[in-house]
Amino acid sequence: MATIKDVAKEAGVHISTVSRTLGGAYYVEPSTRERVMQAVEKLGYKPNPIAKGLKEGRTRIIGYVVPRVNDSVFSQISQSISQACVERDYMVILCCTGEDTKIEADYYNRMKGKWVDGFIIGTANDDNRALLESLKAENIPVVLVTRSIENAFNAVLSDNVEGARQAAKHLIANGCKRILFLNGNLKLELCRERLKGYQQGLMDEGIPFDQSLVCNDIAMQWAGAISPVKGTVTPEQAVAHIVSQNIEFDAVLGITDAVAAGAMTTLKNHGITIPDQVKIMGMGDLEIASFTDPPLTTMHQSADTIGRRSVELLLEQIESRDFTAKTLEKLPFTLVVRETV
Amino acid sequence: MATIKDVAKEAGVHISTVSRTLGGAYYVEPSTRERVMQAVEKLGYKPNPIAKGLKEGRTRIIGYVVPRVNDSVFSQISQSISQACVERDYMVILCCTGEDTKIEADYYNRMKGKWVDGFIIGTANDDNRALLESLKAENIPVVLVTRSIENAFNAVLSDNVEGARQAAKHLIANGCKRILFLNGNLKLELCRERLKGYQQGLMDEGIPFDQSLVCNDIAMQWAGAISPVKGTVTPEQAVAHIVSQNIEFDAVLGITDAVAAGAMTTLKNHGITIPDQVKIMGMGDLEIASFTDPPLTTMHQSADTIGRRSVELLLEQIESRDFTAKTLEKLPFTLVVRETV
DNA sequence: GTGAAAGCGCTAACAT
DNA sequence: ATGTTAGCGCTTTCAC
């Protein structure tokens, strides 16, 4: 690897001249510049970003923290984050925490300061809030994705209340009156919000809320992707339980597509026809939604936009060196009608 | 952020003493060590890995290059790579190329040398071979995942020939004689190998190979994940075409689960029953395989193992500074019988 | 307009 | 056993 020294020698100038030539913001004699550029070309010189970062106190690296990338939503978001960063000449350092707060704490400790210029974080829940607060206290730029914590942090996510509300209303508009809501862990603001939206949808249409139609703590991801999280129930188990209790319902709203798909499987196994006897909706619109039978009607979440906006927001802060802004961007869901409603 | 200087001042020693205390391999007076450790604790000091890397010429970062992370296989592999690296105190820098060789070339140029200690690469195809060769020529440790290029590079991947062969044989064992093989782009060694395995399976069982039962250039991923790749056909289109041509077949082997699932949808739309009239198999055993109706019989690929082994192999090379080893690890597929065969 | 030199945080060879 | 110092590759201030 050629260094700045090699280039300087090759061009017969001092290293600082090379640095200035490449830095752009200085005037160098055109003929000198020419020679330098030729040397750069010849040696295939690329400035060493580590040395640069050490000097400048900036690295053009961002830290990206998620529970797991093999989650349909995060894999989509990761993709768009990666692309957005490539375009802007930033690097992404990935950390999958598996929702383990210790691993996460460790990562922040190692990365903050000199390693990364800021973080994009997809792990926000009630457990790691203190961690996030301490990042903020140290003035480290942070953008949350997919999840938020009150209005305390920059975040870009889907409008969960509104999305769930529209889902409920779509179901009701199609004649449903008793909608089973398969929810995740209420530690996640996301789950609390979707629950709220579900309730609002009911209320909008004058349908009474029935607590026995809400199941919490459903595993939100495909079971194969993760070792089962304790305190969690598969959608299949939940639906089987509900059915065995003879609780009446004419629709299922899954907090994610995976949940809806799981529910669908169990329903079909019980000989319940979809959408005739029970209608189903998911939220997310990810891969499986198009492969279930019948294909799943769901609320489409713009994962790409979430990813792209999060890096825009973060880099804006980093580059302006202004960490005071607090933006909460809520992107709309859109209804995708397939065949389960 | 506390630096080594701050710690030295706090402990009343020279910075090199701090460095030695932390480095471990040197003897320092226990009382001194004690004071240093207390200062470290008090200040929450973490060595700056950038400075360290600059000095040592190593970064404990590995570059991870994939076409896209929002691909079921790669998202699984990424997850296990990330975990394996966390355990070993390495960082992962992610680059999604979108199969764009220019982006890829750029990334290597920027990263190699001082940025990363080595690469894990999931993009190998006939187009970027020169790029990979040049990495090798520069003595940069590389491990290929999921794909290989002859035996020219370290690689860990599934045994594609054997996997496809077993799939074909399983179909034949279940009475199939005319197996439609929906293949991807032959630029990928992976596709060439699976084709070969398919043919071997046929041969093993004395079934004649019929070229008209092979479709190449099928899009291997879920269409929603990516903008359609040109020169590519969806499995749905391919099957519709075959059916319209009245080509007879009693089974479909999809090069991936997504392909098999797409085929299944089209068949069902044509009123063909599965598995009665046509049996279906995929390869990979990823999320969608459990959600199709009927659930897909497929060859399970151990994505986790691929990820974990690839980092083990890479770090072995990096840490031994011996880049001459050439390991080609082929992991077995295992048959997962569900309901489409 | 360009060269010299300091310094970013750290490690390792060399003194003491 | 510990302090001193050079140097990793780069940017930037200061001279000339």
Say whether pLDDT at A310 is over 90: yes
Cβ atoms A36, A13 nearer than 8 A = yes
> What is chain B's alpha carbon radius of gyration, rounded to the nearest angstrom?
25
Percent of chain A with pLDDT over 70: 97
CA separation for the pair B42, B62 (Å, rounded): 31
Tell me what the pLDDT averaged over chain A comes to: 91
Q: Are residues A252 and A139 in the same domain?
A: no
Dig out the tokens for B172 from the structure: 């034949």
Q: Are residues A186 and A118 in the same domain?
A: no
Minimal CA–CA distance to B97: which of B120, B136, B76, B69? Answer: B69
- The answer to whether B287 contacts A225, with C-beta atoms less than 8 Å apart, is yes
Asked whether residue A29 is domain-assigned, the answer is yes
Distance from CA of B292 to the nearest CA of A (A): 5
Nucleotides of C under 7 A from a protein CB: 1-5, 7-13
Q: Which carries the bigger pLDDT value, residue A106 or residue A7? A: A7
Say whether pLDDT at A24 is over 80: no
CA separation for the pair B128, B148 (Å, rounded): 12
Q: What pLDDT, on a 0 to 100 scale, did the predictor assign at position B113? A: 63
Q: Characterize the bridge pairing of strands A297-300 and A334-336.
A: antiparallel
Minimal CA–CA distance to A331: which of A192, A148, A186, A187? Answer: A148
Looking at chain B, list the stretches that DSSP marks H as alpha helix, in order from N- to C-terminal side: 4-11, 15-23, 30-43, 49-56, 72-87, 101-111, 129-137, 160-173, 189-204, 235-244, 257-269, 303-320
Does residue A114 lie within 7 Å of nucleic acid chain D, judged by its CB?
no
Chain A residue numbers touching B268 (CB-CB < 8 A): 293
Locate tokens 């950038």: which residue? B50
Asked whether residue A340 is domain-assigned, the answer is no
**CATH at residue B316:** 3.40.50.2300
Q: Are residues A181 and A118 in the same domain?
A: no
Minimal CA–CA distance to A95: which of A103, A84, A85? Answer: A103
Asked whether residue B296 is domain-assigned, the answer is yes
Q: What is the DSSP code string of A26-81?
A: S---HHHHHHHHHHHHHHT----HHHHHHHHT--SEEEEEES-SSSHHHHHHHHHH
Range of the domain at B42: 4-47
**CATH at residue B41:** 1.10.260.40
Identify the residue whose Cα has the smallest distance to the C1' of D2: B17
Does residue B37 lie within 7 Å of nucleic acid chain D, judged by its CB?
no
- Cis omega (within 30 of 0) on the bond before A275? yes
Minimal CA–CA distance to A218: which of A229, A228, A232, A236? Answer: A232
Residues 6+ apart with CB under 8 A from A161: A193, A194, A196, A197, A200
Q: Are residues B289 and B232 in the same domain?
A: yes
- The answer to whether B69 contacts A50, with C-beta atoms less than 8 Å apart, is no
Does residue B114 lie within 7 Å of nucleic acid chain C, judged by its CB?
no
Cβ atoms A165, A204 nearer than 8 A = yes
Q: Are residues B29 and B128 in the same domain?
A: no
Q: What pLDDT, on a 0 to 100 scale, did the predictor assign at position B55? A: 84
Q: What is the 8-class DSSP label of residue A12?
A: T
Say whether pLDDT at A228 is over 70: no
Nucleotides of D under 7 A from a protein CB: 1-5, 7-13
Residues 6+ apart with CB under 8 A from A23: none
List average pLDDT for each run of 10 residues in chain B, which is 341 residues long. 88 91 84 90 85 82 92 92 89 90 86 81 91 88 92 94 98 98 94 98 97 95 69 92 95 97 95 96 92 94 96 90 85 97 95
Asked whether residue B52 is domain-assigned, the answer is no
Locate tokens 């080893």: which residue? B325
Q: Per this entry, what is the length of chain A?
A: 341
Say whether pLDDT at A225 is over 70: no
Which residues numbered 41-60 in chain B sit less than 7 A from strand D, measured from CB?
A: 51, 54-55, 57
Mean pLDDT of all residues in A292-313: 95
Report phi then psi at B266, rounded to 5: -65, -45
Rounded CA–C1' distance between A114 and D5, in angstroms = 25
Neighbours of B306 (CB within 10 A): 24
Which pLDDT tens digit goes with each residue over A56-81?
A: 878 888 999 999 998 889 999 999 99
Q: Which carries the bigger pLDDT value, residue B144 or residue A2? A: B144
The CA-CA-CA angle for residues B193, B199, B203, to 5°, reads 140
From residue B52, how far is each of A51, A109, B57, B59 by CA, in Å?
A: 10, 16, 8, 8
Report helix, strand or coil for B331. strand
Rounded CA–C1' distance between A150 and D11, in angstroms = 41
Say whether pLDDT at A320 is over 90: no
Say whether pLDDT at A234 is over 80: yes
Neighbours of A23 (CB within 10 A): 11
Q: What pLDDT, on a 0 to 100 scale, did the predictor assign at position B245? A: 94
Q: Are residues B234 and B280 in the same domain?
A: yes
Q: Are residues B176 and B221 in the same domain?
A: yes
Q: Are residues A166 and A191 in the same domain?
A: yes
Locate tokens 């999320």: which residue? B287
Cβ atoms A167, A201 nearer than 8 A = yes
Q: What pLDDT, on a 0 to 100 scale, did the predictor assign at position A226? A: 60
Q: Are residues A23 and A88 in the same domain?
A: no
Asked whether residue B84 is domain-assigned, the answer is yes
Minimal CA–CA distance to B66: which of B152, B128, B159? Answer: B128
Q: Which carries the bigger pLDDT value, residue B317 or residue A110? A: B317
Q: What pLDDT, on a 0 to 100 scale, did the predictor assign at position B115? A: 76
Dig out the tokens for A270 from the structure: 């019980």
Chain A: residue nearest B104 by CA? A86
Q: Are residues B245 and B271 in the same domain?
A: yes
Say whether pLDDT at A294 is over 80: yes
Asked whether residue A338 is domain-assigned, the answer is no
Dig out the tokens for B28 from the structure: 């320092």
Q: Are residues B66 and B149 in the same domain?
A: yes
Does residue A28 lie within 7 Å of nucleic acid chain C, judged by its CB?
yes
Report helix, strand or coil for A281. strand
> What is chain A's alpha carbon radius of gyration, rounded to the nearest angstrom?
25
Asked whether residue B183 is domain-assigned, the answer is yes
Q: Domains in chain B: how many in total?
A: 3
CA separation for the pair B160, B171 (Å, rounded): 17
Does residue B165 lie within 7 Å of nucleic acid chain D, judged by its CB?
no
- The answer to whether B82 contacts A94, with C-beta atoms less than 8 Å apart, is yes
Q: What is the DSSP code string of A193-210?
A: HHHHHHHHHHHHTTPPP-
Distance from CA of B87 to the nearest CA of A (A): 9
Say whether pLDDT at A113 is over 70: no
Asked whether residue A341 is domain-assigned, the answer is no
Rounded CA–C1' distance between B104 and C6, in angstroms = 37
Handedness of CA B3, B5, B8, B12 (dihedral sign): negative
Q: Are residues A87 and A187 in the same domain?
A: no
Does residue B3 lie within 7 Å of nucleic acid chain C, judged by its CB?
yes
Dig out the tokens for A207 from the structure: 């349908």
